[in-house]
Amino acid sequence: MLTHFLLQVTPAVANTSSLSLWDLTLKGGVIMIPIFLLSFIAIYVFVDRYLAINRASKVAPNLMNQIKQNVVDGKIDSALSLCRSIDNPIARMIEKGITRIGRPLNDVNTAIETVGNLEISKLEKGLPLLASAAGGAPMLGFLGTVTGMVRAFYDMASAGNNINIQLLSSGIYEAMVTTVAGLIVGIAAYFAYNILVSRVEDLIYKMELSTTDFMDLLNEPASK
């Protein structure tokens, strides 16, 4: 009897193990399409913004010292040329501040902050899409859960007394697969979003520190 039971179970195990990831994905139904679209959007935004923020965060360690030396020596054009030769938000902020030298310090500081806000806005482009993917993917997964269970109960009601597990499997597959896919995409997008936000905050700190150093430089002649 035990041998007969094993012979019945073995084919079922073999069929389950042969189910590929693609076949499992197809069982999720049409809800998997927007979930996949959100996953592609999340990957693209994360890679694009990560590279952009990484480039923006690279600042020459002696940049401010070189700018300070040029400004102290009265070589304003050299300081401007140095800033323009560097493709970096901090360099563009300091460049704007240098062009405002001679005006009231509040005007200089305001001009630098305006450029800084514009630079941060450029770096944060796409982050709302990533946040939407983090929140939307699980909701789509839960929607697939509801539609899958509705489908399963509809098939159950339509079958009458001829209910079997194969009849219900398609709806249950749709419910479970979409839930798993939505949670995976949502969790990954959530962590990706927080990584980017953290790196942007680090860059903002560097920008504020550079702005303070530059304003201190402009304050030095007035204090002497």
Instruction: Annotate 106-130 with DSSP letters as a single string.
Output: HHHHHHHHHHHHHHHHHHTTTHHHH
pLDDT value for 188: 95
The tokens of 174 are what?
Answer: 């749709």
Q: Are 98 and 76 in contact (CB under 8 A)?
A: yes
Return the SS3 of 209.
Answer: helix
Beta-bridged to residue 101, according to DSSP, are 103
Q: What pLDDT does residue 70 have?
A: 85
Domain locations in the chain? 28-223
Per-residue confidence (pLDDT) for residue 198, from 0 to 100: 94
Residue 63: CA atoms inside 13 Å, Cβ hemisphere, count? Answer: 27
C-alpha–C-alpha distance, residues 33 and 48, integer Å:
23
* Number of neighbours of residue 21 by Cβ within 10 angstroms: 7
Report the b/e string of 94-103 with b at 16+ CB within 10 A.
bbbbbebeee
Q: Name the one residue in this structure whose structure tokens are 């709806």.
A: 171
**How many beta carbons lie within 10 A of that of residue 24, not counting itself?**
14
| Contact present, 214 and 112 (Cβ < 8 Å) | yes
Per-residue pLDDT of the chain (224 residues; tens, 9 = 90+): 433 433 443 444 344 445 566 666 666 678 888 999 999 999 999 999 999 999 988 877 788 888 888 888 888 888 888 888 888 899 899 999 988 888 888 888 999 999 999 999 999 999 999 999 999 999 998 888 888 777 776 766 676 666 666 666 666 777 788 888 899 999 999 999 999 999 999 999 989 988 888 888 887 654 44
Question: CB of 148 within 8 A of CB of 178?
Answer: yes
**pLDDT reported for residue 174:** 74
| pTM score of the predicted model | 0.78
- Please compute, for residue 151, the number of CA atoms within 13 A of its CA located in the half-sphere on the CB side: 19
- Paired tokens of 166: 């194969």
Residue at 61: amino acid letter: P
pLDDT at res. 161: 66
pLDDT of residue 15: 46
Predicted local distance difference test score (pLDDT) of residue 101: 86
Spatial separation of the C-alpha atoms in residues 136 and 185, rounded to whole Å? 9
